[in-house]
Amino acid sequence: MNIEKPWRLEDVKFQDEQNGRRRGEIGPVTVLEIGGKYSLTSHALKLTWFDLDKRSVDAALGLSGDSPYSATRRAKFF
């Protein structure tokens, strides 16, 4: 991710885990996918989103990173 291009779900490289779970990390954010629903945890900001559908993940990723782009988005959001 950089100031021009925010992270997207398509940028996350997932690895399969037990019980049908998939886990991926991008920067300081961990993404967990279980049965088509996603949970995101931003370790840098200590934020967690649960039970997101696929359409909501990109917006949450854009707010959860630790970069100038994310900081600008959070300032406008909050």
Provide the residue-wise pLDDT of the chain in tens; the chain has 78 residues: 445 677 899 999 999 998 899 999 998 899 999 999 999 998 877 889 999 999 999 988 887 765 544 555 555 544
pTM for the full predicted model: 0.76
Contacts 24+ apart (CB under 8 A), 9-16: 9/38, 9/54, 9/57, 9/58, 9/61
pLDDT of amino acid 66: 56
Which runs of E-coded beta strand occur in the chain? 14-16, 21-26, 29-34, 37-42, 47-52
**What was the pLDDT predicted at 76?**
54
CA distance 72 to 6: 11
Which tokens sit at 18?
């037990």
Predicted local confidence at residue 56, as pLDDT: 92
Contact 49, 63 (CB under 8 A): no
Tokens 């998939």 map to which residue?
22
**pLDDT of 72:** 55
